[in-house]
Structure 1
Amino acid sequence: MQSRGLPHVAGLMLAFFLFPGAASAQQVCGDAETPCRVESGSYHLILPESEPAGIVMHLHGGGSTGKAMLNSDLARVSVARGYVFVAPNGEHPEARWTKDWSVRADNTRHDRDDAVFLQTVIADVRDRFRLADAPFVLAGFSRGGSMVWDMACRLPEFADAYAPVAGAFWDSLPERCAGPVRLFHAHGWTDRTVPLEGRSFRDGTVVQGDVWASLKVLRETNRCGNRQPETSSFEGEYWLRHWTDCEAGQIDLLLHKGGHTAPTGWADTILDWFEGLSLKQL
């Protein structure tokens, strides 16, 4: 992955203790009623009580809002573990779906380029709350998960790692991404809203992409040595597959027995994964 990389968590925390002003900005916006505003939209945010260990940004599903994400399990777990939780608003007031993300290749008109918007949001968060070097993971659910895949593919240096759930590329899929990334995808085995194989709308003019095909694109971009994962395992109700022989980046897949939802314990699982990445050489 061609990025600044993830610092060791212990080293990061030591830096905060040595330089306590690094993340001591007061929260003046971001709560449920007072979102932080940037040129092209708004976002919500929760600061932890301790010095931040990093940033978790979560993109809501279609029809939802950043405000609703403030009460999510990921928000609660992230803040409890010392992360700044950021929840942007997908806003397209003149589009067919107003609370949505401008997912590429979905044959739908959007009011703004959300790749640009999300870059504006993270720049504002880092500047406003003095988090210039904080490690950052981008997560998202459903349409938000598809936007995570798009960001990982188009702008691999945007985040240190990516954690989409229940959403992947839409057709037509990119042939190749801009660079390798570390991505942990989660999906329900019985998901009928975003099936693993995708589905079509509007007489076939809009097509959800196939998760397996999305993974193939990323394996080729990451230059993984084999089509099959190096390891597979079961952990409770999790079915896990790991591609760890890639020349750059890493791909992890979690399948669960549920439908269109994040699996139980997903928030802690992705943060454990993210913190584990920080202990490895890039």
Structure 2
Amino acid sequence: MIYPEVPEPLGIVMHLHGGGSTGASALKSGLAGEAHSRGYIFVAPNGEHPEARWTKDWSVRADNMEFERDDAEFLARVLTDIRSNTDLSEAPVLLSGFSRGGSMVWNMACWQPEFADAYAPLAGAFWERLPTRCVQPLYLFHTHGWTDRVVPLEGRSFFDDTVVQGDVWASLKVLRETNGCGKRQPETSTFDGELWLRHWTDCDAGRIDLMLHKGGHSAPEGWGPRMLDWFEELELR
């Protein structure tokens, strides 16, 4: 599903909904409106797995979970269709997602990094078993609530510990090693009101930004504009 067309679009913003939700709900979000107002095509596909434990979901890599659709392939087809029906064959792409959609963003960033130019997961990270390293360095801006109990920063387990959410800190470690962040600690750490930010900008390649907020399983106020500002500051066009 695509947000209404914009004249001379700057690029594509694709957002993956959370588990149990739909792309239609994302089309009504503030992120959709913000992306459209800046001149982006906004795309919100549906995660559909009728035979899985969670039907409105994405095929996030995890031990002891199986899906009938490979969503990495599905999203690639969606993007190909968008490019073939617009003048955006070379336009930059930002992939964002919330919760399970955020976890799918981590998967795409790690295993299919050529899919998008930058990645912005919200309240979702890898599920176990975590990779030891991603395919190549990348740009990623992760946002998480300090009091999130649905996807805690340290993860949690389901189904008698057979399916386990990954630890966000461990996910970031994988990415630091992939990007060659030899110093481990961020180059800068800043505060902006009730937001805590850490920036790994001096790695061998790519960039990692982490934003924590005091809330739970949700986006902090102003997340959409801030995330799009970050994407535009990368100057990927």
Question: Which category of TM-score, normalised to the shorter sequence, fits these structures?
Answer: over 0.9
Q: Under a length normalisation based on structure 1, what TM-score does the superposition of the two structures give?
A: 0.82
Q: Which of 183, 192, 199 is the matching residue for 1:226? A: 183
* Residues 1:266 and 2:196 aligned together: no
Report the Cα distance in structure 2 between the residues aligned to 1:178 and 1:95, rounded to whole angstroms: 28
Q: Name the % identity.
A: 70
| Number of the residue aligned with 1:247 | 204
| Deviation of 1:138 (Å) | 0.2
SS in 2 for 1:267: helix
Larger radius of gyration: 1
- 1:162-190 Cα deviation digits (max 9, x unpaired): 00000000011001111110000000000
- Number of positions where the alignment pairs a residue of Structure 1 with one of Structure 2: 237
| Deviation of 1:226 (Å) | 1.2
* Residues 1:163 and 2:136 aligned together: no
1:1-282 mapped onto 2 (5 Å cutoff): 44-278=1-235
| More displaced stretch, 180-189 vs 65-74 | 65-74
Q: Under a length normalisation based on structure 2, what TM-score does the superposition of the two structures give?
A: 0.98
- Please report the RMSD computed on the Cα atoms of aligned residues, expressed in angstroms: 1.1
Whether the 8 Å contact between 1:48 and 1:80 is mirrored in structure 2 is: no
Report the Cα distance in structure 2 between the residues aligned to 1:49 and 1:224, rounded to whole angstroms: 38
Report the Cα distance in structure 2 between the residues aligned to 1:49 and 1:217, rounded to whole angstroms: 37
Report the Cα distance in structure 1 between the residues aligned to 2:226 and 2:138, rounded to whole angstroms: 18
- Check 1:279–1:138 CA distance in 2 against 1; reply closer, same or farther (3 A cut): closer
Report the Cα distance in structure 1 between the residues aligned to 2:76 and 2:49, rounded to whole angstroms: 17
Whether the 8 Å contact between 1:47 and 1:83 is mirrored in structure 2 is: no
SS in 2 for 1:150: helix
Consecutive aligned runs of 4 or more in structure 1 exceeding 3 Å deviation: none
Letter in 2 for 1:96: R
For structure 2, the residue ranges without an aligned partner over 5 or more in a row are none
| Deviation of 1:106 (Å) | 4.1
Letter in 1 for 2:224: A
Report the Cα distance in structure 2 between the residues aligned to 1:74 and 1:257, rounded to whole angstroms: 20
Report the Cα distance in structure 2 between the residues aligned to 1:107 and 1:237, rounded to whole angstroms: 38
